[in-house]
Amino acid sequence: MKPVKSIVTACLIIPAIAILAFGPRSDQDLPKDRVIVDYWEKWTADEEAQMREIVNEFNDTVGKDKHIYVRYVSTSSVNQKTLVATAAGVPPDIAGMWDGNLVQFAELNALEPLDELAAEYGITSATYKPVYWNACNYHGHLYALISTPSTIALHYNTKIFADNADKLRAVGLDPTRAPATIDELDRCAKALDVVDEKGHIIRSGYLPMEPGWYVTSTHLWFGGEIWNPATEKFTFTDPKVVAAYAWLQSYSKRLGKDAVSEFKSGTGNFDSPQNPFLIGSVVMEQQGPWMANYILNLKPSMDGLADSKGDDFNLPLADRLKRLQWAAAPFPSAVPGLKDVTVANFDTFVIPRGAKHPKEAFEFMAYVNRQDVMEKLCKMHSKNSPLAKVSRDFLEHHKNPYIQVFEDLANSPNAHSVPQIPIMPEVGTEMNQMIQTLVLHTDVEPLTALQNCQDVLQKKYDKFMEIQKAREAAGVE
Amino acid sequence: MISRLERRKMQKGLAFISPWMIGFCAFTLLPIGLSLYYSFCDFPMEKPPFYRGLENYHTIAHDPVFWKSLKVTAYFALVALPLGMIIALVCAMLLNVKMRGQAIYRTIVFLPSLVPAVASAMLWLWLFNSKLGLINKALGPIIFSAPAGWIESLINHLFTFKDGPFHFSTPGWFSDAFWVMPALILMSFWGVGNTVIIYLAGLQDVPRDLYEAAELDGAGTFAKIFHVTLPSISPVIFFNLVMAIIGCMQAFTVPQLIVPGGGPDRSAYFYTMYLYDEAFINLHMGKASAMAWIQLLIVLVLTALVFLSSKRWVHYQGK
């Protein structure tokens, strides 16, 4: 029995030792003479691969010269993971997060201020478009640089517009251009709606809840604000805000809440050939510049192409625009004279507090913010540029033939970034609930829902501030 | 008095379990203790915990979303738990019948429980899609049939509705507050395979002579089930019940994937989803810790009640 026992033990122990000694090493390919910068990013699929291309280029050029190697990791729930890693004292050197988390993290001292590093690299307010620069700053400190930005525009199906030209003309609209006011948008949507005899929506001209990603910003197109930073009070009951959400509810009232709900639940995924804009079941919608990428990949026929590989971005822009079956234009405003209103979002580069190599991390961030690199990345992601200077090549040979629209929107004085409220995630949650209430319960008065939302959020904000003051007084910060 | 040999044995035993003991203390016992402390603190993770007494518990008691999430979880538990147990038991009884291809049927019933929750959630999302999903495609011919049309006409003839005429429509599974929970409950039955296997093991332990004795006494199929099978497997039912209570209170992955944020009117905002959002989205780790302790207390009370009641209905062989 004893020899058998020894043989079995040896069979288990020897391979284990061999694996430990000669087995795979996670750091095997990392260059030994370089500082390793850990970069966590949220992107997956194409966007992840495109950023990897930028990272590889950095590692082969600037990184090689300055002895820096960026280790790029694509991860889900990046903000939660960064937060936990930061709390544990082992954060990444760079985290790619959303703009909505920036103020929340900055308020918690979870981010390194970047003022000195930015000044060293010559990155100033003149580098970025104002809306993006202002959003990266909080309480007088720079907390983030931008990886890619976006603005939001109205996308519309020009083929359906042309096919229904008579209907549009009958309601006093020009079928060759996008609606220019909210009133025109409403008339256009109504004219293009197709509803069967039982009230089921077959095609929707426009539906605020499709895709519904920006419904919490509806008030912007009505000239309203939900937050007054001077008084630190929520202003949901401002008549302009009330008018905005009453307008949003009007679509459920007109089409029927059940029909809207049924239609919405039957729509396909955004990133699929069943995307309602691509299949024409929604004629107009709010989207960012990346939509051009999805159209090209999922329905090249809307680009007038046989397949997604057929587009030649070097063709003259006018020729490319001619064959499109879709177009983008500024989303119309309800207030006369209020033009080019948009939501300016962005993906951020932040350095979490306690990062081991902030200077080397910033070297990479500054590299991505070079005009040539930023334009390459934004072209690949099909987004506008956050930088103040934009090359002619970027505008003329971009994947998105309408990139000029998004650039103009980003430069607009009416471009708005995420409000700088430390409890922003809770604001988003409450607003989405309020909007769902209005859409699903058409008998609820918008003012009542907004007042309720305001009360809940003001209470949460006041409590948050009360705790911060108590912490300050007790010296627990 | 412990002999030297016993002491040496004990030392060896402790040495062998020490990796587990250290791991348990560092990664389970310590976090549990800390979470109790954090439940009395404001703790946004990036700042040190700040003692606030019972404030978190007070906030929770006056938080309508907390009560809503508790109600949603209770609804799920009250419907999904008994139905799931009954379905699992019926499946186990059917699979216990000697027939050709028994092993294949058992495999088929067990297989779904091996599918990762994320993968099955994605499949169910498609199945329940109100326009493209197979479930509504199957329901369509019934809902839009001629008899259904007659019923519609009759209803519209008798009543007037503020929002226009009444029409039957296929359920908007994840967009209608009424249908979200039934959809999630139906989905939960997909994973009964594990419970079925445990029941099956219990059923195979029921002594044959009890059935023979019952047959001699003239018992029919149902009498045998209620007077022999169920009492004999009552310890197994008891075990499954306790596990199911804990499972229902911890329901998270599937609803979080299907209806993040709880869906319309927070109609599927489970307790654990709210706890997660408070901890990792809103960064109220102190409040989330308090919620976790409340959850533990609820589970303890429910389990204690089941244990107390078990004296009446659980029968152990040999006792």
Chain A CB within 8 Å of residue B117 CB = no
Q: Which residues neighbour A79 within 8 Å (Cβ) at sequence distance 6 or greater?
A: A42, A95, A97, A98, A101, A105
Could you say which of A77, A86, A199 has the minimum Cβ distance to residue B167? A199
Q: What is the ipTM of this complex?
A: 0.87
The answer to whether B299 touches B312, Cβ cutoff 8 Å, is: no
Instruction: Name the residue in chain B with its Cα closest to that of A426.
Output: B282
CA dihedral A185, A189, A191, A197 (to 10 degrees): -160
Instruction: Name the residue in chain B with its Cα closest to that of A91.
Output: B46
Q: Which residues neighbour A210 within 8 Å (Cβ) at sequence distance 6 or greater?
A: A204, A264, A267, A276, A282, A285
B89-107 average pLDDT score:
93
Q: Which residues neighbour A176 within 8 Å (Cβ) at sequence distance 6 or greater?
A: A161
Record: contact B46-A105, CB cut-off 8 A: yes
Per the listing, tokens 């939001």 go with A152
How far is the C-alpha of A234 from the C-alpha of A453, rounded, in Å?
9
Instruction: Name the residue in chain A with its Cα closest to that of B262.
Output: A433
The answer to whether A259 touches A253, Cβ cutoff 8 Å, is: no
CA distances from A297 to A275, A292, A323, A360, A399 (A): 12, 9, 16, 36, 11
Residues of A in contact with B172 (CB under 8 A): 258, 261-262, 264-266
Could you say which of B42, B47, B132 has the minimum Cβ distance to residue A274? B132
* pLDDT for residue A1 is more than 60: no
B98-118 average pLDDT score:
92
pLDDT in tens, A407-429: 999 999 999 999 999 999 999 99
Record: contact B129-A104, CB cut-off 8 A: no
Q: What is the DSSP string of B210-274?
A: HHHHHHHTT--HHHHIIIIIHHHTHHHHHHHHHHHHHHHHT--HHHHHHSGGGSGGGTT--HHHH
Residues of A in contact with B175 (CB under 8 A): 261-262, 264-265
Enter the tokens of residue B101: 């291809």
From the candidates B38, B281, B285, which should be mutated to test the interface with A, based on the most A CB atoms within 10 A? B281
CA distances from B112 to A338, B84, B88, B93, B254 (A): 56, 14, 13, 18, 14
The answer to whether B199 touches B240, Cβ cutoff 8 Å, is: yes
Distance to chain B for A338, nearest Cα, Å: 33
Distance to chain B for A212, nearest Cα, Å: 13
Q: Which one-letter DSSP state was computed for residue A272?
A: S
Enter the tokens of residue A20: 């430990």
A6-11 average pLDDT score:
88
Record: contact B177-A440, CB cut-off 8 A: yes
Per the listing, tokens 């495999």 go with B107
Residues of B in contact with A471 (CB under 8 A): 42, 47, 50
How far is the C-alpha of A211 from the C-alpha of A191, rounded, in Å?
20
Residues of B in contact with A268 (CB under 8 A): 129, 132
pLDDT in tens, A318-361: 999 999 999 999 999 999 999 999 999 999 999 999 999 999 99
From the candidates A210, A213, A265, which should be mutated to test the interface with B, based on the most B CB atoms within 10 A? A265
Beta-carbon count within 10 A of B131 CB: 19
B189-205 average pLDDT score:
94
Percent of chain A whose pLDDT exceeds 90: 84
Contacts 24+ apart (CB under 8 A), B54-60: B56/B286, B56/B287, B56/B289, B56/B290, B57/B290, B57/B294, B59/B287, B60/B287, B60/B290, B60/B291, B60/B294
Among A180, A190, A151, CA closest to A289: A151
Report pTM. Answer: 0.89
pLDDT in tens, B122-158: 999 889 988 788 999 999 888 878 888 888 888 888 8
How far is the C-alpha of A436 from the C-alpha of A209, rounded, in Å?
9
Record: contact A266-B131, CB cut-off 8 A: yes
Could you say which of B45, B50, B176 has the minimum Cβ distance to residue A476? B50
Distance to chain A for B113, nearest Cα, Å: 25
Helices (H) and strands (E) in chain A, counts: 21, 15
